[in-house]
Structure 1
């Protein structure tokens, strides 16, 4: 397995253009406070603190009025791009300015990323040409008929929840 600690120059893209309409809050969920900072600040600081990440591209909504006030916005390793109407367009806009050969994409509202998980992701990507973080499904999974009627229990042994980052 590749030693992830020897990898450098990675670019992280953080789609942060969502408006969080389902939450019904006064601001998008990435700007909600958690332990004295916004969720987005925690996420960006976690990525920037990893030695392999040289650049973080943040895709922001065109009307975003919160990001510039964050202390982390002044970090020279952060590049801002306009986000799209959907996550895929925000990622694409980030890819247009990415400098590294390797890019990872991480959700703005997922601040609990560990360096151990990043190391494992990087090592797997270097060995396989790409990787994704995931966790095994633990809950019972049911298949329905489309009308709300349960028709089967799905075996979960080979099911995984897809997480971010993806590289």
Structure 2
């Protein structure tokens, strides 16, 4: 899928590389993906490509290994090309004040419903106060993220994003 003359992936990667603190981007692609090799990104000096795994967490772990000695890492969904530089700058600033990292998030504005267990019927409306949509990129110390993902996978936890690990 393209926007203008670039794929969504290209827009997403360029949004990251536009920030001076982002030195390298690791992209996990499906094994056997033949389209990526045709993109200019395939030969970009700041891009490393790894085979993605069966699940998101597997792909992220593979990417973390390719990140080498990076102290902090961003994990970003390629399907989110509209990253604003001011949001990225605020997130990257966490490395100066946080030991655990953080995520981009937006307050839930949609009405949320909870269904009755085992039924296709509304049980009640969920109070939106305190509910947030987790967005990407998410930003963590590389070793901490690696350890949390590995532990969560070993425990059989459901990992829907890096912050849930």
TM-score of the alignment, normalized to the shorter chain, above 0.5:
yes
Report deviation, 1:124.
3.0
**1:118-159: CA deviation from partner (whole Å, max 9, x where unpaired):** 011112343222100000000111111131222222111100
Matched-pair contact (CA < 8 Å) for 1:125–1:131: no
Aligned length: 136
TM-score by length of 1: 0.78
Query: Unaligned 5+ residue runs, structure 2?
Result: 140-165
Equivalent residue in structure 1 for 2:29, among 60, 76, 89: 60
CA RMSD between the two structures: 1.1
Query: Unaligned 5+ residue runs, structure 1?
Result: 1-31
CA distance in 1, matches of 2:113, 2:11: 35
Task: From the superposition, tell whether residues 155 and 125 of structure 1 become closer, same or farther in structure 2 (CA, over 3 Å).
Answer: farther
Q: Does 2:110 align with 1:150?
A: no
CA distance in 2, matches of 1:34, 1:118: 21
Which of structures 1 and 2 has the larger relative contact order (alpha carbons within 8 angstroms, sep 6+)?
A: 1
- 1:95-110 matches, within 5 Å, as 95-99=64-68, 100-110=70-80
Higher normalized helix content (fraction of residues): 2
CA distance in 1, matches of 2:88, 2:125: 33
Q: Does 2:100 align with 1:120?
A: no
TM-score by length of 2: 0.79
CA distance in 1, matches of 2:13, 2:55: 20
4+ long deviations beyond 6 Å:
none
Name the residue aligned to 1:37: 6
